[in-house]
Amino acid sequence: MAEPLLALAAQEIEDSNYLPGYRVNLHLTDSGCDTAQGTEATIEAFTVGPTKHAILGDSCSQVCAAVSDAARLFKVLMVSPGCDSPDLSDRPRYPYFTRMTPSDRFKVTAIYEVFKMFGWRRVGVMDGLFYTAGAKAFFLELLQRDLDAGTYDWTVLLDRTVNTLADAESVADEVKVRDSRINMMVLPEFIGMWVMCQFYLRDMLPPDYVWFEAAFGNWVNDLFNIMAGAPECNCTAEQLARVSGGLMISGTRLADISNYYNTACQQFANGVGACDDVWGLTGRVRQFNSIEPTTIPPSFGDRDGVQLIRQITGGPGNEFTDLAQRSSSGILWQADLVWSPYDTRRVPCSTGTCALGAAWVPSDRIAQCAAGTVFSVQLGCIACEAGRYASAGMLECEPCGVGTFTNVTGMAACHPCAPGSYNNVLGADGCEECSQGLFANESESTGCMQCPIGRYAAQKGLATCVECPPGLTTFSRGALDSDACLCQGELYEGQCVVCSGNTRYEAGACIPCSEGLTCNGARTAVVQPGFFTDTAAPFDVYRCLPSESCPGGLPGTCAGGRIGVPCTQCPAGQAWSTDVCADCAPFSLGGWVLAGI
C-alpha cells in the first residue's frame, strides 16, 4: 500500500516547483514493522549504492525508533507519516526525527478530559498490539499524576492487553466481574470488534456500560459489516451495532489528514516550502523536532492540535458521526452526546458546551449489588466469604449468628445448624456434630444436651438419644452406648425381671403386695402404720391392736419400746405404763395382747 503512495508523492514534488531542476528518486525497502529488519535496511541503504538524503517512513512506532537511531549515525532527516508513539517526542534521543501526525498523547488526553468532565473515577483500560502500548501508558500516567497530586481519586479496575480471541473473552469476563462500567480501549478496529462482540454475548450493553476508543487502525463506516461473522467475531452486524452504540472514538481520519494537508500547504508561503502549519484534526507537524515544549507537563516538543471525537450513533454502513473537537483551549461539542441509539437519555451538547445539569450521566458503578455480594470500589461486587452473608443492598457482609453458618461464598442468608449439630460462635462456616452421649433435637442449636436416664447416644450427630431396651436403664445422664443400659429390676437365671406397681420381686416372679405393705417392685417392702412384720419373715403381716403400737416402716419396728410380735410385749424388767414400757415397780405385772392377720 505504501509504495504507490510514495511514488505519487515523489511525482507531485517533481511536478511542483519545490525543487526546480531536481529529480526525486526513491529507494524502497520494507521494514515489515520489525525493528531489526528496519535497522538493517537503514544501514544498508546509507552504506550501499547512491547517496540518500532523507528517510520517508516508517509508520510503525517501534520501527521509527530503531530507524531513527540508525539515521542519527548518518545525520539524515527522517520524516514519518504515521509513527505516533509519545516516546518519539524525546528530542535529545531522536534529533533528526519529525512526523506528520501528532503524538498518541492527544488521543488519550481527550478521553481523559471527558472522563473527568463526567466525574467518573472507576475505569478499565486495555490495549492491543505492541504499537498501542504507548497510548495506554500515557493515559495511565495522566491518572497517576492526579493520584500523586491528590487532585482526583482514580481507581483503575483492570489494565489488560488483548491480542487474541482468548484475551478478548478473558477481558470481557473481568470487566463484568470487576463492574468496570467506564472503559478506555486502545485497540485497532478488528481487535476492538472482537472485544465488543464478547461484551454483547455477556449482555453488557450501553448505557449501562460506556466504551471509549483511542483509535488505531480503520475505525470507519461499514465496520460492522466488515467484521461481522469473522472467526474471532461471532456476532452479526446488528449485534455489533447494538453493543457499540454510543462508543466514543478519539482519533484521526485519513481523509482529514489529506485534505487539511493539501489545503495548508497551498496556503503556506505561497505554496513553497515546508508545511509547518495546523493540520486540522491531526495536530501540528513537529518540524525537525525543534519546537520548544508548550504542554504541561512538557511534551518534549509535541505541540497540541485539534483532536476529533466521533461517536457511533448509526447502524451498519453508517456508523459514525462527529461529536466534538478537542484542543488545548477545551472541547467544542458539535452534537448531543448519545449514550446509546437505543436509549432516549442523552447529554445536551449541540450548543458547543454540555448542559450537565439537565443531563443523565451513567454511573461508574452498579446501582445495587445482588444478594450475597457487596460493593468494593476496587473490585466491584464481591461475594461474601464463607461464614458471612449479605441481603440485597447491604453495604457490608455480616457474620452468621450463633447456631447458623454458610460454607460457600456469595450467600444471601445463613443456614441453621441441623438437629444433631451446633455452633456457638459468630461467622461460622459450619456446625459441629454433637458428641457421643449428647443430642440436639432442634435446628439452630448453640449447644448439645446430655442424654436423659434410660437413653444413650452411641454415635455423633444425633437429634434424639436411643432408648434402652425394655427392662434396662442407665443410672446416670449422658450414657455413651448400650453397655450403659443395665437391668433396673432383678436378674433371675439370666433374665431381667422388672416388677412394677404395688408388687414385689421374689424368686423370679412379681408378687402382689400384701395388705399392710407398700411395694415398689423391689425385693423389700415398707410396712404401713398399724401393721407389723418380723425381720425374720418380712412379708408375714400382723395388724396391731392398738394400732399406735406399730408405726410401720422397716420390719420389726415398734413404738413405745415394745417388742415381740406384733409389738405386744415389754422387755424383761419393764412393764407397760401409759404409752411406753417402763422399768417395773415392786409387785407390778406385765401384759400382752396378740392380734394376727
pLDDT in tens, 371-385: 999 998 888 889 999
Structure confidence at residue 80 as a pLDDT band (50, 70, 90): confident
SS3 545: coil
Highest mean pLDDT among 30-34, 539-543, 583-587: 539-543
The answer to whether 422 touches 442, Cβ cutoff 8 Å, is no
Looking at residue 144, what is its pLDDT? 94
Q: Cell 460457600 appears where?
A: 408
pLDDT, residue 210, reads 95
For residue 86, name the pLDDT band (cuts at 50, 70, 90): confident
pLDDT in tens, 436-450: 999 999 999 999 999
Span 100-118, average pLDDT? 86
| 268 CB neighbour count, 10 Å cutoff | 14
Which stretch, 79-88, 96-105, 139-148, 503-512, has highest mean pLDDT?
139-148
By DSSP bridging, strand 509-512 and strand 415-416 are: unpaired
pLDDT band per the 50, 70, 90 thresholds, residue 61: confident
Q: Specify the pLDDT at position 453.
A: 93
Confidence of residue 579 (pLDDT cuts 50, 70, 90): confident
Secondary-structure percent of the chain, ordered helix, strand, coil, rounded to 5: 25, 25, 50
User: What DSSP line would sit under 89-137, residue for residue?
Assistant: G-TTT-TTEEESS--THHHHHHHHHHHHHTT--EEEEEE-SGGGHHHHH
Task: Please give the domain boundaries of the chain with CATH numbers for all domains.
Answer: 2-99 (3.40.50.2300), 105-251+304-358 (3.40.50.2300), 256-280 (no CATH), 503-583 (no CATH)
At residue 251, the pLDDT reads 67
Q: Report the distance separating Cα 194 and Cα 420, nearest Å.
A: 55
The per-residue pLDDT for 94 is 87
Supply the pTM of this predicted model.
0.63
Residue 471, pLDDT above cutoff 60:
yes
pLDDT at 126 > cutoff 90: yes
Q: At what angle do helices 237-244 and 189-201 cross, to 10 degrees?
A: 90
pLDDT over 50 (residue 271): no
Smallest Cα–Cα separation from 124: which of 309, 312, 364, 374?
364
Res 546: pLDDT: 85
pLDDT at 275 (0 to 100): 39
pLDDT digits (tens, 9 = 90+) for 417-431: 999 999 999 999 999
Q: What is the pLDDT of residue 593?
A: 41
